Amino acid sequence: MVIGTGQPAADNTPRQLAFVFADGRYRGTDTKDPSAHVALRNQRNDHEVTLRYDTYNPQDPIGSPSGHADVRFRWTGTNFSTLDPIPTTDPQAADSRR
């Protein structure tokens, strides 16, 4: 897994994606839409990782998240599946990963 950072959004929100590799091949990204901040929290074994997403409430400034959400991903041998809900990217929602 590699965390990549792209150009910030128009409102200066950082943009990150986790690029997933398994069996020596690129398999996709953690989400379709980028997150303000995502980090590898834990790798339990060769088949399960935990990513940590910073989460924001609507009034939180960028760089000052209210909290975080840990999301586990498991490699099934053919694809990655999520074991926990991924926070929304809606900046008006509570606990958004923006």
Q: Is the pLDDT of residue 26 over 90?
A: yes
Residue 98 lies in a domain: no
Instruction: Report pTM.
Output: 0.90
- pLDDT one-digit tens code per residue, 46-79: 889 999 999 999 999 988 999 999 999 999 998 8
| DSSP bridge partners of 19 | 2, 29
The gap from C-alpha 5 to its chain's centroid, in whole angstroms, comes to 11
pLDDT value at position 63?
87
94 within a domain of the structure (yes/no): no
Segment 32-40 mean pLDDT: 95
Beta carbons within 10 angstroms of residue 19's beta carbon:
13
Establish if 30 belongs to a structural domain.
yes
Residue 11 or residue 25, greater confidence: 25
CA distance 54 to 68: 4
Q: Which two tokens mark 4?
A: 């990549």
Is 18 domain-assigned? yes
Residue 20 CB contacts under 8 Å (≥ 6 apart), including other chains: 1, 26, 27, 28, 29, 30, 73, 80
**Which residue type is seen at 97?**
R
- Per the structure, how many domains does the chain have? 1
Domain membership flag for residue 44: yes
pLDDT at position 69? 98
Mean pLDDT (whole number) for 2-26: 87
Task: State the pLDDT at residue 35.
Answer: 95
Q: What is the C-alpha to C-alpha distance for residues 96 and 13, in angstroms, rounded to an integer?
A: 12
